[in-house]
Amino acid sequence: MSRTAWTAALRRGSIPLGLGIVCFVLAWPAIEDLDGLFKGAGAILIALGLIIIIATARTLTAEEKRIGRPSR
């Protein structure tokens, strides 16, 4: 896979990944009632971020192969 595809994919998936990490950090000092909520939201956001990164990189790489490398 090309470097530009992974760079674009990381840019797109960085927000859910970052929010997922923030949720896990917030779960650490949280009271017992909110602990499960933060851990669940963090797990969902991290999974979503990883899916966005992988799907975007694969799609952009396939598109580059189909039409040729984009000129910069």
Measure the CA–CA gap between 9 and 13, rounded to whole angstroms: 6
Quickly state the pLDDT bin for 42 (edges 50, 70, 90): very high
Instruction: Give residue 58's pLDDT.
Output: 93
Can you give the pTM of this predicted structure?
Answer: 0.80
Instruction: Give residue 67's pLDDT.
Output: 85
Mean pLDDT score, 50-59: 94
